[in-house]
Amino acid sequence: KNEAMKSLPLKLLFGLSSLFVSIASMLVSFCAAHFFVLKDKYKHILFPIYIATCLPATFYAVVQFPLYVDLLKAIFKKLPQPSITSSQF
């Protein structure tokens, strides 16, 4: 029972972290490919486009940050074990 209480938040934390890394790497690869494909005369327009592209991912990361913190607390915080009393029988 105690193993599941540590295992599940750890798996959720790993999934959330890998989601953030994949979104960030996708944005970096998009911006790099877009930067190399366009001609020099359009390069002054690129940075506002890149900022607009990163806004939804940044908003998603900010919204999910409390879940990330809660998962870290659930993994590293020592929870008290329930005690069995005679009234529970």
Give, as one character, the DSSP assignment of residue 82.
P
| 83 found inside a domain | no
Expressed as residue numbers, the domain containing 51 is 7-73
Q: Is 89 strand, coil or helix? A: coil
| 87 found inside a domain | no
Q: How many domains does the chain have?
A: 1
Structure-model confidence comparison of residues 70 and 84, the more confident one? 70
| 85 found inside a domain | no
45-83 pLDDT per residue, tens: 878 888 888 898 889 889 999 998 888 888 887 766 666
| Cα–Cα distance for residue pair 28/57, rounded to 1 Å | 12
4-47 pLDDT per residue, tens: 777 888 898 899 999 989 998 998 898 888 878 877 777 778 78
